Amino acid sequence: MGKTLFDKIWDAHVVSSNEGFPDILYIDTHFIHEVTSPQAFDGLRERGLPVFRPKQTVATADHNVPTWDQHLPIKEELSRYQVDMLTKNCAEFGIELYGLGHPFQGIVHVIGPELGITRPGGTYVCGDSHTSTHGAFGAIAFGIGTSQVEQVMATQCLLQQRPKRMKIEVNGKLQKGVGAKDIILYIISQTTAAGGTGYAVEYAGDTIRSLSMEGRMTICNMSIEMGARCGLIAPDETTINYVKGREFTPKGEEWEKAVAYWQTLYSDDDAQFDSVLKFKAEDIEPMITYGTNPGMGIGISQTVPETTSFEAKEQGSYKKALDYMGLHDDEHLLGRPIDYVFIGSCTNSRIEDLRQVAEFVKGKHKAENVTVWVVPGSKQVQEQAIREGLDKVFESAGFPLREPGCSACLGMNEDKIPAGKYCISTSNRNFEGRQGPNSRTFLASPLTAAASAITGRVTDIREFLKEEEFIEA
């Protein structure tokens, strides 16, 4: 019987497999950041252990950093201490750090791919659930807790139970104005926030194939939002062209060898999946979430579902979510005034996202009532945007281009959405208080966020498309 892509990569990384025990899985690269690593470093000190393979460990500071005036010391004492601690720990244990001020600094899931560290066939972990992003290259990549961060530091391995395998196929032609973010929000709205739990999800189908690497990263990034262990997409020409020539990509003969191996990485025709889901691209509208988990999403022209459409035992939690959001049954989100627009996060902060938004907002200006933040995913994305003059376009539109970091995705650093305010966000989570205590989040694509910033209300990007032509979403 044939093997799935997931199993091919997993099997190539099993160090030891014993009946009754989880497998010992070899990790090619361990990404670390300031928030989930300090207790792991302390653990190593207590055990008197070094980092086993420091050269396979890459660090950056992203969660707790400001995205304005990064050249100044971090104002908040605890944040500064945590970032300083990462610097000290990396120096002590011999780990390369792309910290504040370094030309490679940025969100961990943006820099890994852009530096060519993330490659097809590899295994990648990080103390961050959005590590699933790296699966876009045809790799196994997932988030881990701090005890596991310590485990990987100590052994370059992870004890893991092999998950079940799911295939999600999307076929067909996307409507204009619909992109990768809408696809994944649509999938999660169909599976629910728990529908992928226990599975490694392979995304396939011609719609997925037609996406750029950045679009594929957006898809894999949100795998965790349906509970999946990881998400992955078989590598192809698009993947190989993206990886080629990057900072840490193999060169010369090594490159040829690598490419030959990558071309074997696909699910065999007779490979068995534990579950298969199929969706039609034509069914996908620009998506928006109305609730407090990413599974609570609707097409932008639809209305908030009725409470009675849920099972009795689920209705309490559903009402709680709508109360929090200040919404009610059957309501349209379209036309609803918003206060903030956040374009950024490991889901949508790459150069293509910024280009797409800039192209759309060129010659337009944000609405009076809205504050807009555009936060590049990395220093390299920021520099590229400036080289292309996107910063000027953003500035004229009232969209200041900030400095790289996780920013308003998680309500941890200085960038928080105030209580009670509504934010259309290109990030990945709409949990209660995620963007700041009592903030309210509508998740959407960069284009939907940009269009809404211009009108000051929840907007269907397709309304603009009737009037003008611009790059495909």
Partner 1 sequence: MATKIFKHIQTSVVPLPIENIDTDQIIPARFLKATTREGFGNNLFRDWRFDENDNPKTDFILNNPNYNGKILVAGKNFGCGSSREHAAWAIADYGFDAVVSSFFADIFKGNALNNGLLPVQVSDDFLKKIFDAVFADEHAVIEIDLVDQFIKIVATGEQESFEVNPYKKACMTNGYDDIDYILSKKELIQEFEDAK
Helices (H), 115-225: 146-155, 180-191, 206-209, 213-221
Q: How far is the CB of 322 from partner 1 (least distance, A)?
A: 14
Contacts for 186 with CB less than 8 Å, ≥ 6 apart = 279, 283, 284, 285, 287, 297, 299
> 76 or 96, CB closer to partner 1?
76
The single-letter DSSP state of residue 83 is H
> 362 or 421, CB closer to partner 1?
421
Q: How far is the CB of 375 from partner 1 (least distance, A)?
A: 16
> 81 or 247, CB closer to partner 1?
81
CA atoms within 13 A on the CB side of 211: 31
Angle between the 351-361 and 446-455 helix axes, to the nearest 10 degrees?
A: 30
Comparing CA positions, the residue from 95, 112, 86 lying closest to residue 153 is 95
Q: How far is the CB of 251 from partner 1 (least distance, A)?
A: 18
> 157 or 397, CB closer to partner 1?
157
> 224 or 343, CB closer to partner 1?
224
CA distance 1 to 200: 19
> 86 or 367, CB closer to partner 1?
86
Q: How far is the CB of 338 from partner 1 (least distance, A)?
A: 21
Comparing CA positions, the residue from 40, 34, 126 lying closest to residue 85 is 34
> 114 or 128, CB closer to partner 1?
128
Rg of the chain in Å (alpha carbons): 21
- Distance between first and last Cα of the chain: 39
CA distance 446 to 452: 10
What count of residues does the chain have? 473
> 206 or 314, CB closer to partner 1?
314
Structure tokens at 72: 């100044």
What 3-state DSSP class applies to 195?
coil
What 3-state DSSP class applies to 383?
helix
Burial 347-364 (b: 16+ CB within 10 A, else e): bbbbbbbbbbbbebbeeb
CA distance 123 to 117: 11
Q: How far is the CB of 11 from partner 1 (least distance, A)?
A: 12
Token pair 């992928």 in the structure block, residue: 196
E strands, 407-464, in order: 422-425, 440-443
Residues binding partner 1 (CB under 8 A): 15-16, 20-22, 24, 26, 35-36, 38-39, 42-43, 46-47, 52, 63-64, 76, 78-79, 81-82, 85, 127-129, 143-148, 150-151, 154-157, 159, 161, 163, 193-194, 197-198, 224, 227, 229, 292-293, 295, 313-314, 316-317, 320, 410-412, 419, 429, 431-434, 437-438
Q: How far is the CB of 50 from partner 1 (least distance, A)?
A: 12
What 3-state DSSP class applies to 320?
helix
Q: How far is the CB of 282 from partner 1 (least distance, A)?
A: 30
> 12 or 465, CB closer to partner 1?
12
> 115 or 224, CB closer to partner 1?
224
Q: How far is the CB of 147 from partner 1 (least distance, A)?
A: 4
CA distance 118 to 6: 16
Contact predicate 438/416, CB 8 Å? no
> 201 or 211, CB closer to partner 1?
201
> 87 or 384, CB closer to partner 1?
87
Output the furthest CA–CA distance in the chain (Å, rounded).
66
E strands, 238-335, in order: 275-280, 287-289, 297-299
CA distance 220 to 228: 10
Comparing CA positions, the residue from 57, 198, 35, 191 lying closest to residue 127 is 35
Quick one: the chain helix, strand, coil %, rounded to 5?
35, 15, 45
